[in-house]
Amino acid sequence: MSIEKINQAKAEIASTSAYKTITDFFDAESFCEIDAFAKSGEGFAEVVAGFGTVDGMPVYAFAQNSDICGGAMSKAQAAKLKKLYDLALKTGAPVVGFYDSIGGRLSQGTELLAGCGEVLNSAAALSGVVPQISVVLGTCLGTSALNAVSADIVIMSEKAQLSLSVTGENSSAEYNAENGIAAMTAKDTQEAIAMAKELMLYLPSNNLNMAPQSFEEAPAEDGCGCIVSRTIDGNSKVKLYNNYGKNANVRLARLGGQVVGIVATKGGMLDCKSTTKVAKFVRFCDAFSLPVISFVNCSGFESIKCAAKAASAYAEATTVKISVVTGKAIGSAYIALAGTGANADVVYALPEAVISPVNVEAAAFIMAPEAMKVPVEQQSAAAEKFAEENLSAFNAAQNGYVDGIVEEGQLRQTLISALDMLSGKRVPTLSKKHSTI
């Protein structure tokens, strides 16, 4: 083939929206395409794939090309994606997928199913080895949706659709965000791409590398008035699953320039969605050795099954785990999120924290029945007085359940020092496949 025809083919591919998406994602002039001229039927394959850098970090990426047969999955697309996943496994680099596909080329029958199965198998093999991010920009139904949701983090544009159902039921960004499928939602394509690029700044290339370090920044109040924003580095947080499980927040942030995972409970009982969110996030952080700092203010769990998942996630995690009791840590909440059950390396508490095996009122009636023999309208005050004298952070520290009592103004530096000391943590584990909880 002549150079003119080759350049004509290159120009045809470069004119598609998928090519623009992928070049906008990578650093300028860093994108190198793989299998650029792969054929699918009479035209080019329905996906643009290759590698490049994002802020200097090597990354693999692909973008389904809705300009060609609606981006439908095909044998050729599956082969191209499998090659990309195989390269990512060999080189230990993250994979980012941009999805915009009407489904699959049904005319290819069982060959299409086999190809889709190989792609899913490759993605599963990479899970926990390199970070995987899916960015859903348009329609993503059927088999493409299955592959997209297998990633660590899913970003959706507001107008995108994501569903296993080919009819598009329950496919909106709002639905997926409220049900814990989409971790982040964006107004449009450009914002979704920017979110994916920002995530790259918080994640390691693979499970053996460390996350990128940054210069330490002083905290910057973001208006939420919470202790987390007053502790972490300024302008460093990436909130995940913000519309799902609203009794707890999870986010990636930096503390002293180091990337950490933040879990913050908001008081009261943790519902099943919030508990599931926390468990999933802790497992994600552990897979890539991101330290987990838990700000605990929780009276317990609403679901015993979901509570067991959270407790298991904390107990099994071998990454650095630091807990800060900011309010109440009652019974199972202390055990699962902060105490020895969570295998916490260090547990701190604010001076006003309360740590109790049961709720304060019940503890007072059981442990100090005489003190509670007061009129009903005075029992709440009596219980609080009992808690202050018997269930305080100081009492817990005296009994070895809290390592230190720290005032909020000293908390940031205390946590930075703890992270430095625990950076070399190594934990041997039992030989087994995985837990079944």
pLDDT digits (tens, 9 = 90+) for 19-73: 999 999 999 999 999 987 776 655 666 789 999 999 999 999 999 988 777 677 8
On whether both 244 and 181 belong to a single domain, the answer is no
CB burial class (10 A; 0-12, 13-18, 19+) of residue 231? buried
Where is pLDDT greater, at 31 or 427? 31
Determine contact, residues 75/107, Cβ cutoff 8 Å.
Answer: no
Note whether residue 366 is domain-resident. no
Interatomic CA distance for residues 9 and 352, integer angstroms? 68
Domain span at 299: 238-353+392-422
Closest CA to 232 of 265, 260, 254, 202: 254
Locate 109 and state its tokens.
């029958």
Locate 348 and state its tokens.
């701190």
pLDDT of 119 higher than 80: yes
On whether both 401 and 300 belong to a single domain, the answer is yes
Note whether residue 434 is domain-resident. no
On whether both 140 and 94 belong to a single domain, the answer is yes
Cross-strand partners of 53: 58
Confidence at residue 137, expressed as pLDDT on a 0 to 100 scale: 96
Q: How far is CA 52 from CA 16, 24, 29, 388, in A?
A: 18, 11, 8, 58
> CB-based contacts of 167: which residues, under 8 Å, 6+ apart?
none
Average the pLDDT over 258-282 and give the result.
96
Residue 314, amino acid: Y
Interatomic CA distance for residues 81 and 45, integer angstroms? 11
Interatomic CA distance for residues 47 and 15, integer angstroms? 13
Where is pLDDT greater, at 389 or 306? 306
Where is pLDDT greater, at 398 or 1? 398
Q: What percent of the chain has pLDDT over 70?
A: 85
CB burial class (10 A; 0-12, 13-18, 19+) of residue 391? buried
Interatomic CA distance for residues 100 and 140, integer angstroms? 6
Note whether residue 189 is domain-resident. yes
The most confident of 285-294, 338-347, 368-377, by mean pLDDT:
285-294
Note whether residue 216 is domain-resident. no
Q: How far is CA 20 from CA 13, 78, 140, 189, in A?
A: 10, 21, 19, 11
Note whether residue 373 is domain-resident. no
**pTM, entire model:** 0.92
Confidence at residue 215, expressed as pLDDT on a 0 to 100 scale: 82
pLDDT of 7 higher than 80: no
Confidence at residue 432, expressed as pLDDT on a 0 to 100 scale: 82
Map residue 222 onto helix, strand or coil: coil
Domain boundary among 139, 174, 200: 200
On whether both 163 and 253 belong to a single domain, the answer is no
Confidence at residue 144, expressed as pLDDT on a 0 to 100 scale: 85
Confidence at residue 102, expressed as pLDDT on a 0 to 100 scale: 77
On whether both 179 and 248 belong to a single domain, the answer is no
Cross-strand partners of 238: 252
On whether both 168 and 251 belong to a single domain, the answer is no
Domain harbouring 245, CATH code: 3.90.226.10
In whole numbers, what is the pLDDT of the chain averaged over residues? 88
Interatomic CA distance for residues 369 and 314, integer angstroms? 35
Note whether residue 38 is domain-resident. yes
Interatomic CA distance for residues 226 and 219, integer angstroms? 12
Map residue 135 onto helix, strand or coil: strand
The DSSP code for 276 is H
On whether both 125 and 15 belong to a single domain, the answer is yes
Average the pLDDT over 123-152 and give the result.
93
Confidence at residue 108, expressed as pLDDT on a 0 to 100 scale: 65
pLDDT of 109 higher than 80: no
- Helix residue ranges per DSSP H, 92-236: 109-126, 143-149, 173-178, 189-200
Confidence at residue 224, expressed as pLDDT on a 0 to 100 scale: 59
Confidence at residue 35, expressed as pLDDT on a 0 to 100 scale: 81
**pLDDT (tens digit per residue) in 164-189:** 887 778 899 999 999 999 999 999 99
Where is pLDDT greater, at 2 or 193? 193
On whether both 194 and 243 belong to a single domain, the answer is no
Where is pLDDT greater, at 13 or 80? 80
Mean pLDDT lowest among 192-201, 214-223, 302-311: 214-223
b vs e for 401-415, b when ≥16 Cβ sit within 10 Å of the residue's Cβ?
bbbebbeeeebbebb
On whether both 272 and 188 belong to a single domain, the answer is no
pLDDT-derived band at 410 (thresholds 50, 70, 90) equals very high
Give the DSSP letter string of 34-102.
Answer: SSTT-EETTEE-SEEEEEEEETTEEEEEEEE-TTTGGG-B-HHHHHHHHHHHHHHHHHT--EEEEEEE-
pLDDT-derived band at 360 (thresholds 50, 70, 90) equals low
pLDDT of 86 higher than 80: yes
Domain count, the chain: 2
Q: How far is CA 311 from CA 245, 298, 437, in A?
A: 17, 14, 10
**pLDDT (tens digit per residue) in 255-267:** 999 999 999 999 8
Confidence at residue 42, expressed as pLDDT on a 0 to 100 scale: 57
Confidence at residue 433, expressed as pLDDT on a 0 to 100 scale: 81
Note whether residue 413 is domain-resident. yes
On whether both 157 and 59 belong to a single domain, the answer is yes
Locate 14 and state its tokens.
């470069």
Determine contact, residues 284/316, Cβ cutoff 8 Å.
Answer: no
On whether both 182 and 248 belong to a single domain, the answer is no
Q: What percent of the chain has pLDDT over 90?
A: 62
On whether both 127 and 271 belong to a single domain, the answer is no
Domain boundary among 200, 227, 250: 200
Note whether residue 293 is domain-resident. yes
pLDDT of 233 higher than 60: yes
